[in-house]
Chain A
Amino acid sequence: MSQKDTLGQELSRRGISRRALLKFAAAAATSLALPPSFAPAIAEELSKARRQSLIWLSFQDCTGCLEALTRSEAPGIERLIFDFVSLDYQETLMAAAGTAAEDVLKAVAQENRGNYLLAVDGSVPVADNGVYSMIGGRSPMAILSELAEGAAAVLAIGTCAAYGGIPKAAPNPTGAAGIGALVGGKPVVNIPGCPPIPEVLTGVLVNFLTFGKLPDLDAQGRPLAYFGTTIHDQCYRRPYYDQGKFAKSFDDAGARQGWCLFELGCKGPTTHNACASLKWNGGTSFPIQSGHGCLGCSEPDFWDKGSFYTSLSGGEGPPWGAVAGAAAGGVAIGGAAAFAARRARASVERQLAQEWKAQEDEA
């Protein structure tokens, strides 16, 4: 596909119908939180769009972001990247390696100077001149500075690229930092999450191709359409929170009835993301629907904010210490102690059941 061709021409050549484009536009409107009536306009503008050059760099990352994005099948992120966008450089996906890959990068950046989108996953190590993640003999900071300078905009994909993420967790030995803290003079869109929701990247790209601009952002540089509300505000368990109905343990009667997971450490009330509406794996589920509280992975420094199982009000959550301590003792000193540990756990469970019953009686 030539970069001069419009997407509409290319789709027509491939026998992809107007209805298929309308359908994709309906999914995109859903994803972008636009009214569904925008779908025909999105389809119209997309069909006129020309191929967008995208350069993708990976720094201190675990490749989980790329895994999540490329393995997504809805609403077709792979198709979007490979059909709507010219993914000109991505070390993990491209066939070229070594100096051949570096030559491609130089050529693409020069040819599309001022127009390409620069996507980055992973944080940038700035301590000790970046020696912790050298690529082709150059520090990530040097590569980022050079390519950001020629980009139309920078997309920080995943929590590590957005805010430093897990590499930045205390004591942060590599001096890891997020892209927004290092790149000046260019618009930076943060798409955090560990990993980020694939549809959010799709939405940002569709927004750029359709409206010729980046989406509106919140104070943390995240697209408002996806990060404008908290998980808690969109959560289907929210009515239980309002009624004061909380699960006290992961397998108690409240948990089985789908009550709110706040007291088990759910970070939904302080976490901005679209997991509760877009969900994961083709809309199948999201952590809270699967019975576990939100970890708050799309917020800065989520790894250093205390236990995932401590409630936001400061409660301690389930008595893990008692259970784990007893179980550890059992392993250490043999079968009799293990039996005692099981009894200790059973005792904890009985205590929880009694508390539970007392609460129900009160209610």
Chain B
Amino acid sequence: MQSDDPFLQALLAELRMLLAQLLESGESGQIDLLRLPMAPAQTEALRALLGQGEIVITLEAEGPSRIEETRLSGVWWVEHHDRAGHLVARLLEVAAVPEIVPAAAPDIGASLGVLSGEDAGKAET
């Protein structure tokens, strides 16, 4: 995967490094695309270069988010929007699964509490 644009070449080199890190130590990494001085055309070129993988996740939490696997497995294109639909974060996340996706232990515990409460309620009736 190559680009003639030196800026995109540097980004691809960083992705290469983050993927190697993920493979070796399991540590995930992110690149904040909104803070980089990229022209809109460069963002589009990067998105086209990375292509589309098999998974698309949509998240509804105080506004929509779209999490797309790129054709590089382990590299995710993440865009968060606020309630008004404005883009507030655009990240490249290098991870098996982006950190925001899995359910967290306290939430799982809360779910257990809900079901246990329901079970207790049924037992009482």
Question: Which residues of chain A have a CB within 8 Å of any CB of chain B?
Answer: 16-20, 22-24, 26-27, 29-30, 33, 35-37, 39-40, 73-76, 233-236, 238, 258, 276-278, 281-284
B10 in the interface, Cβ–Cβ < 8 Å? no
Name A236's contact: one of B29, B30, B37 (CB within 8 Å).
B37
Give the nearest-CB partner of A282 in chain B. B86
A236 CB contacts on chain B under 8 angstroms = 37-39, 42
B contact set with A: CB distance below 8 Å: 29-32, 34-39, 42, 59, 61-63, 65, 80, 82-89, 91, 93, 99-100, 104, 106-107
Q: A26-B100, A238-B37, A283-B86 given. 6 additional CB < 8 A pairs?
A: A16-B62, A22-B100, A258-B39, A277-B36, A282-B82, A282-B86
Q: How far is the CA of A196 from the CA of B86 in the complex (A)?
A: 19
Specify which chain B residues have a CB less than 8 angstroms from the CB of A238 in the assembled complex: 37
Question: Given that A35-B32, A73-B83, A282-B84 are known contacts, is A26 also in contact with B37, CB under 8 Å in the complex?
Answer: no
CB atoms of A283 and B87 under 8 A apart? yes
A-B contact count (CB 8 A): 93
Residues of A within 8 A of B36 (CB): 277
Query: 22 pairs across A/B with beta carbons < 8 Å?
Result: A17-B107, A23-B62, A23-B65, A23-B80, A23-B89, A26-B91, A30-B34, A30-B89, A36-B31, A36-B89, A36-B91, A36-B93, A74-B82, A75-B88, A76-B62, A235-B37, A236-B42, A277-B35, A277-B37, A281-B86, A282-B84, A282-B87
CB of A350, distance to nearest CB on chain B (Å): 31
Roughly how many angstroms separate A233 CA and B35 CA in the complex, as a whole number? Answer: 12
Main secondary structure of the interface of A (DSSP, over half): helix
CB-CB nearest 8 A-B residue pairs: A282-B86, A36-B30, A73-B84, A27-B88, A20-B61, A74-B86, A236-B39, A20-B62
Q: Which B residues touch A74, using CB under 8 A? A: 82, 84, 86-88
A30–B35 contact, CB under 8 A? yes
Q: Across the interface, which residues of A come within 8 angstroms of B31, CB to CB?
A: 36
The answer to whether A29 and B32 touch (CB under 8 A), given A23-B100, A74-B82, A75-B88, is yes
Q: Which A residues are CB-close (under 8 A) to B84?
A: 73-74, 282
Q: Are B82 and A73 in contact, CB atoms less than 8 angstroms apart?
A: yes
Q: With the chains together, A28 CA to B32 CA distance in Å?
A: 11
Nearest residue, chain B, Cβ from A11: B62
